[in-house]
Amino acid sequence: MIKIEVRLFATFRNGRGKKVFVEMDQPTVEDVLQSINITNEEVAILLVNGQDGHFDQVLIEGDYLSIFPPVGGG
Amino acid sequence: MYGYHGKILRINLKTQEVKVETLDLDTAKKFIGGRGLGTKFMMDEVDPKVDALSPENKLMVVTGPLTGTATPTGGRYMVVTKSPLTGTIASSNSGGFWGAELKFCGYDMIILEDKSEEPIYLNIVDDKIEFKSAKHLWGKLVGEVTDELQEAHGAKARVMTIGPAGENLSLLAAIMNEKDRAAGRSGVGAVMGSKNLKAIVVKGSNKVGIHDPEALKAVFKDSLKKIRENGVTGEGLPTYGTAVLVNIINENGAYPVNNFQESYDPEADKISGESMKEDYLVRKNPCYRCPIACGRWVEVDGKQMAGPEYETLWAFGSDCGIRDLKEVLLANDWCNELGLDTISAGTTLAAAMELRELDLVKAEEIEGQPLEFGNVNAIVEWTKKMAYREGFGDKLAEGSYRLCDMYGRPDLSMSVKKQELPAYDPRGIQGQGLQYATSNRGGCHVRGYLISPEILGLPEKIDKNALDGKAFWAKAFQDLTASIDSAGLCLFTSFALGADDYAALINAVCGTDHTGDTIFAAGERIWNIEKMFNLESGVAPSEDKLPRRLLEDAIPDGPSKGQVHQLDKLLPEYYELRGWTKGGIPTDERLAELGLK
Ligand code: SF4
């Protein structure tokens, strides 16, 4: 089992807070998101350790996710 | 006449002579309007070598063919002049309602010449142009001036004005309209101040002619649908405004802290769009006919005011080491009242804080709050002193490049062509860095917003760290943006719309036969004429560069740790794609192809 930190932003915070920790065995990004009821389609920006991530990426101890719904523009 | 009125209002501020001239429609269409048309007139009428704050510089206020029409966001105008900050062409865009109202007065553009002997303001009601004394307004804040002028000329009159910063010729001065909308960058407010022109009031009753109203209805419906269905323009910007970028850019490790010494802020969330929505947001604050409504309206200690953009939150926030949202909101409000560009004002403070940190600026030079990273009490106080040129504020008013140069360290100014960089560290976003370096008005994110593909994934996601393809993207975004700016629309529509959509909107209004390709081509023409202005004004091609820190000092921590910007690997391909020489100069051949020779 590893513990993955998920940083949530914008509307993903509704009902979940700013940050959640998910404990799973060899999870992919998709597994982690499913466990907190977020579908791939809802995610517009996905970062693993601050770099562009993929839904099928297998996570290892120490990885953290940052996820955003469609937002942005400056 | 469709889209354009075909009329230029030429005003000599010294002699108070007013002429209404015919706008040559072929020229107008070639350069679309706004930014493009204004630059064409600058090139034809003003010696690029002129001192930007002398009477010989002209101030062009230019609408686009879609300004004042029912197209989504069609209310924008451009201020085009020579910049006193950069020495380059300045074209600063503003939203709100003023641009549309100018169009309703029956003009496509105003050309302001020479300099008034006394402070004046202009009152324009259709074909009635009045020169009024502004002695009673000189020295007053933007909000006060706007209220007084609306009291004098009616609540429906729209007011554009400078604040004390423009009067005092701060090179960071903006021109404001509707109190909180700004033609913000490149010191255009100082040019207005140098002409002793405090304000322009407009109230009009003319409609803009539409070539094919039925076609416009259809294209309008189609673009509106795209804007509403797009995640960014339909959901993200309306809910959080641009402020939502604080966390996005920070999580990407491209969020500059303490004058770009670091690029990740563990406490950034304290000044994020999410926090602002939770604690201060009252409502949205949209511009003319805008379905996106990214503008914010906030309440601080019972006082309501316009809320900041992302770049402002960052400039006065993390770039100054500050995470106190309330102080940043107040600093933003003071910039609006004083008429200051929030990006350059905040980042100039950050540069001063680094000079102080290195003890190059001595404690005894700073009368008042210590200019130190993290001092929340410093930002409002020094913003005011900057606008009034009080004490050390006199040096701050010159912008970060001149300030750092005074202390022998121009490299500490995080600027390009002397204009301060906005809130994206290019070491973590390679394409954006190329865009910064080549931007015709110096450090700027909205000349080609590569954050869109590199971070937000629009229109498609590209690797932020890769070099491949970045020259292509930079050129394409720069060219398309030049056309959007010239048409009179807001750049934020481009998250949802593409070149074909803009072509369809312009065609329906003007009866032109644009395609996506000709929209890009017009943008390229505009980009090249801007470059020619800069070269003739003496801004060398070698100024297409980034501050040394970004090229040599690796980001010390966070997601982009270890990275520098690789400009030398990107520039040659960029110049080649532009059809310029290896040294970055447009060739005669290319200029001829673009109809510029
Ligand atoms: S998107 Fe924002 S800046 Fe653009 S026109 Fe709308 S409210 Fe104004």
pLDDT band at A74 (very low <50, low <70, confident <90, very high): low
Of A7, A18, A74, the CB nearest to B251: A7
Is B461 in Cβ contact with A74 (below 8 Å)?
no
Query: Which of B239, B245, B250, B251 is most worth mutating to test chain A (most A CB atoms within 10 A of its CB)?
Result: B251
Query: Which amino acid belongs to residue B320?
Result: C
Judge whether residue A20 has pLDDT over 70: yes
Assembly ipTM: 0.96
- B349, β-bridge pairs: none
pLDDT number for residue A70: 82
Q: What is the rounded CA–CA span in Å between residue B490 and residue B440?
A: 19
Judge whether residue A14 has pLDDT over 80: yes
3-state secondary structure chain A: CEEEEEEECHHHHCCCCCEEEEEECCCEHHHHHHHCCCCHHHCCEEEECCEECCCCCECCCCCEEEEECCCCCC
| Atom of ligand 1 lying closest to residue B295 CA | 7
Question: Do residues B201 and B147 touch, judged by C-beta distance below 8 A?
Answer: no
Mean of pLDDT values over B104-119: 98
pLDDT digits (tens, 9 = 90+) for B570-594: 999 999 999 999 999 999 999 999 9
Judge whether residue A73 has pLDDT over 90: no
Q: What is the rounded CA–CA span in Å between residue B352 and residue B405?
A: 11
Judge whether residue B118 has pLDDT over 90: yes
Question: Do residues B85 and B172 touch, judged by C-beta distance below 8 A?
Answer: yes
Which mutation among B492, B493, B497 tests ligand 1's pocket best, with the greatest number of atoms within 8 A of CB? B492
pLDDT number for residue B414: 98
Residues with CB under 6 A from ligand 1: B 73, 95, 286-287, 290, 292-295, 490, 492
pLDDT digits (tens, 9 = 90+) for B249-307: 999 999 999 999 999 999 999 999 999 999 999 999 999 999 999 999 999 999 999 99
Tell me the average pLDDT of chain A: 93
pLDDT digits (tens, 9 = 90+) for B297-321: 999 999 999 999 999 999 999 999 9
Q: What angle, 0 to 180 degrees and rounded to 10, lies between the N-to-C axes of helices B325-338 and B142-153?
A: 50
Size of interface A-B (CB pairs under 8 A): 92
Q: What is the rounded CA–CA span in Å between residue B260 and residue B251?
A: 16
Percent of chain B exceeding pLDDT 90 equals 98
Residues 32-71 of A with CB under 8 A from B: 44-45, 47, 49-52, 66, 68-71
Looking at residue B206, the DSSP 8-state letter turns out to be P
Across B384-406, b (16+ Cβ under 10 Å) vs e yields bbbbbbbebbebbbbbbbbbbbe
Exposed, middle or buried, A15 (CB in 10 Å: 0-12/13-18/19+)?
exposed
Is A50 in Cβ contact with B558 (below 8 Å)?
yes
pLDDT number for residue B236: 87
pLDDT number for residue A72: 61
Mean of pLDDT values over B364-369: 96
Q: Which residues of A fall within a CB distance of 8 Å from B251? A: 7, 9, 47, 50, 66
pLDDT number for residue A71: 73
Q: What is the rounded CA–CA span in Å between residue B374 and residue B381?
A: 14
pLDDT number for residue B231: 86
Question: Do residues B159 and B196 touch, judged by C-beta distance below 8 A?
Answer: no
Across B42-74, b (16+ Cβ under 10 Å) vs e yields bbeebebeeebbebebbbbbbbbbbbbbebbbb
Flag whether residue A18 sits within 8 Å of chain B, measured between CB atoms. yes
pLDDT digits (tens, 9 = 90+) for B166-224: 999 999 999 999 999 999 999 999 999 999 999 999 999 999 999 999 999 999 999 99
